[in-house]
Amino acid sequence: MATDIKMPQLGESVVEGTIAKWLKKPGDRVEKYEPICEVSTDKVNAEVPSTFDGVMVEIIAQEGTTVEVGQLICRIDAEGAADAGPTAASANTAAPETSAAAPTTDGKTEGESSGKARYSPAVLRLSQEHGIDLTQVKGTGKGGRITRKDVLQVIEQGGTQPTGATTVQAPVKETVTPVPTAPVVQPAPTATPAPAPAASSAAGTVLENGDREIPVTGVRRTIAQRMVQSKHEAPHAWTMMEVDVTGLVELRNRLKQEFKQREGVNLTFMPFFIKAVVDSLKEFPQLNSVWDGDRIILKKRINISIAVATDDALYVPVIHDADEKSILGLTKAVHQLAEKTRAGKLELKDMQGGTFTVNNTGSFGSVLSAPIINQPQAAILSFESIVKRPVVLNNNMFAARDMMNICMSLDHRILDGLMAGRFLKRVKERLEAYGPNSEI
């Protein structure tokens, strides 16, 4: 009997996901814990595994479809191993209640005195959809069982049984998903052929006035919804401070070449920024909290979400227990998460549990920004571009210094300006404390 597979919860606050790619097709054998599809959300690209052995019977949600959590995406027959055909790993051990019994020479089936064969759900569904008389189909499975591939071969030939059986009409429908060994040529849904998916997604649709209509992807739609939700629910306040990071710049310049040779990764400013944040969060735990209905929860662990942008989306993977890591540990963690994000390899664990978000907007030249809070966190902090400019020092002398703005948006339900200002001041002091000879 086929089992319904529903869209799982793929992260905190995730309410839907987009089917990015099916890894299994109807008729394919599925092993327990084997991925059946890739799902994309605003937080993560994840693989959905099967929870049991079986055969993929039917795909409900097609690629590109956005599906809510708990909604049906496919059906898997936990006992219909025969569907996978003779090449399936367990074709020799198909369960009797879902596979077709072997026919005898008199047209009856072994174990069926009435002569009525039993077929798998996938075979029955295809035969019913296309009007195929299964008694006229010769099976190629073990013992003469009719497999899904046999039915697809009949459909591909317009209902003509290749072994000389009676010809039946079998119109091809768009809902049929072919297996690799028996491709089905599907008719276009309209008289005008649809553009190729790659060209369509890249260029969009040209309107009559020359404008282009770009379809909204599932990821972009979810990002839009979450950003609107954050601005609607959380009363945003904003504050900024100026930081003199001349000593930090000199320190990094001194260490970066040796660091790259020794550790194999680039020493960026981001680990220093995160280190200053996590040490300050220990002093001001109110910043490391979340809004939960009618209460505020101070989080025990300090898990830093870092904003990582791709060409078409923004993700916030998490460095767990960031306060326990050194500059080296943070450097490797940032590098690893950035690489996984851009390669589309983030796992569910990489996206969960964030308590405070940092964003290095200065990496693309920004000098001032007002980031939107990553709900339900209390605040988000952006580090802007480091710019060399003249500054008046304590001795009233001008000097060229490396200056940077740090900008924080905060949820005014959780934080007031006093607490936020004190926290930001400690981040500033920690960054300014670095010198060219500091140890890391």
Residues labelled catalytic: 412, 416
Partners of 314 in the β-ladder: 309
In single-letter form, the type of residue at position 194 comes to: A
Alpha-helical segments (H) within 74-174? 121-130, 148-156
> Which of 235, 241, 227 lies closest to 414 in space, CA to CA?
235
Residues in the chain: 440
Residue 46, classed as helix, strand or coil, is strand
Strands of 13-92, DSSP E: 16-22, 29-30, 35-40, 45-49, 54-59, 66-68, 72-77
Start-to-end CA span in the chain (Å): 61
Contact, 381 vs 316, CB < 8 A? no
**Cβ-contact 269, 359 below 8 angstroms:** no
CB 183 within 8 A of CB 157: no
* Residue 300, both tokens: 């025990």
Residues 151 and 123 sit within 8 Å (Cβ to Cβ): yes
* Spatial distance between the Cα atoms of 38 and 7, rounded to a whole number of angstroms: 11
Token pair for residue 52? 């049991």
Phi/psi region, residue 4 (left: phi>0; alpha: psi -120 to 50; beta: rest), is beta
The residues, ordered by sequence, that sit 6+ positions from 172 with a Cβ below 8 Å of its Cβ are 130, 155, 184, 185, 186, 187
Beta bridge partners of 297: 290
Q: Are 384 and 404 in contact (CB under 8 A)?
A: yes
Q: Are 221 and 313 in contact (CB under 8 A)?
A: no
**Token pair listed for 126:** 């295809």
* Contacts of range 254-257, beta carbons closer than 8 Å, 24 or more positions apart: 254/436, 255/440
Cα angle 377, 378, 382; round to 5: 90
